[in-house]
Structure 1
Amino acid sequence: MSVLAQLLAAVADGSVEIVDLTAPLSERTPILRLPEPFANTVPFSLKEISRYDDRGPAWYWNDISTGEHVGTHFDAPVHWATGRDREDVSQVAPGRLVAPAVVLDASGQAAADPDFLLEIDHVRDWEKAHGPLPEGGWLLYRTGWDARSGDQETFLNADETGPHTPGISAECARWLAEETPLIGLGVETVGTDAGAAHGFDPPFPCHSYFLGAGKYGLTQLQNLDRLPVRGAVLVAAPLPIVGGSGSPARVLALVGR
Structure 2
Amino acid sequence: MQRFRFLGFIIVVFCAIISWSIAIAQPNPQPPLWQVYQRSLKSAKYVDLTHTITPTIPVWAGFGKPKFSATIAPTTGKAYTYSADGFEATHYDLPTDQLGTQLDPPAHWNPDYPAIDELPPTFAVRPLVVIPIQEQVARDPNYAIQVRDILKWERQHGQIPEGSVVFVRSDWSKEWPNPELATRTQFPGVSLDALQFLHLKRKILFHGHEPLDTDSTPTLEGEAWLLRNGYTQAEGVANLDRVPETGALVTIGYPKFQGGLGGYARYIAICPPDWRYGVSVGQLPEAPLAKAAKPLHWDRQLGVRVR
Q: Same fold (TM over 0.5)?
A: yes
Match of 1:164 in 2: 186
Normalized against structure 1, the TM-score is what? 0.84
Q: Percent identity?
A: 23
The Cα of 1:242 is off from its aligned counterpart by: 0.9
The Cα of 1:157 is off from its aligned counterpart by: 5.8
Match of 1:235 among 238, 241, 251: 251
Match of 2:104 among 47, 70, 75: 75
Instruction: Map Cα deviations across residues 62-117 of structure 1 (whole Å, 9 max, x no partner).
Output: 11122111011110011113xx3111100101112321110001111112211011
Counterpart mapping for 1:63-142 below 5 A: 63-66=91-94, 67-81=96-110, 84-142=111-169
Matched, 1:21 2:49: yes
What are structure 1's unaligned runs of at least 5 residues? Answer: 34-39
What are structure 2's unaligned runs of at least 5 residues? Answer: 1-29, 72-78, 274-307
Match of 1:226 in 2: 242
The Cα of 1:134 is off from its aligned counterpart by: 1.8
Instruction: Map Cα deviations across residues 169-216 of structure 1 (whole Å, 9 max, x no partner).
Output: 22222332333211111111112x12x22x2xxx21332222233221
Match of 1:58 in 2: 86
2-structure distance, mates of 1:23, 1:11? 26
2-structure distance, mates of 1:224, 1:3? 31
SS at match of 1:41: coil
Match of 2:264 among 240, 248, 253: 248
2-structure distance, mates of 1:71, 1:78? 18
2-structure distance, mates of 1:179, 1:211? 18
Match of 1:181 among 171, 184, 203: 203
Between structures 1 and 2, the one with greater strand share: 1
The verdict on how the C-alpha distance between 1:12 and 1:101 changes in structure 2, with shifts beyond 3 A counting, is closer
Q: Which amino acid aligns with 1:118?
A: I
Structure of larger gyration radius: 2
CA contact (8 A) 2:41 2:270 kept: no
The verdict on how the C-alpha distance between 1:27 and 1:9 changes in structure 2, with shifts beyond 3 A counting, is same
Q: Which amino acid aligns with 1:5?
A: W
Runs (4+) of structure 1 exceeding 6 A deviation are none
CA contact (8 A) 2:60 2:183 kept: no
Matched, 1:208 2:237: no
Match of 1:149 in 2: 176
Q: How many positions carry a matched residue from both structures?
A: 236
Instruction: Map Cα deviations across residues 125-179 of structure 1 (whole Å, 9 max, x no partner).
Output: 21111111121111100000110112111x2362xxxx11010222222332333
CA contact (8 A) 2:141 2:187 kept: yes
Q: Which amino acid aligns with 1:32?
A: W
CA contact (8 A) 1:119 1:168 kept: yes
The verdict on how the C-alpha distance between 1:12 and 1:216 changes in structure 2, with shifts beyond 3 A counting, is closer
Match of 2:34 in 1: 5
SS at match of 2:107: helix
The verdict on how the C-alpha distance between 1:212 and 1:97 changes in structure 2, with shifts beyond 3 A counting, is farther
2-structure distance, mates of 1:97, 1:145? 26
Normalized against structure 2, the TM-score is what? 0.71
Match of 2:65 among 27, 43, 51: 43
CA contact (8 A) 2:130 2:168 kept: yes
The Cα of 1:60 is off from its aligned counterpart by: 0.7
2-structure distance, mates of 1:232, 1:215? 22
Indicate the RMSD between aligned Cα atoms, in angstroms. Answer: 2.0
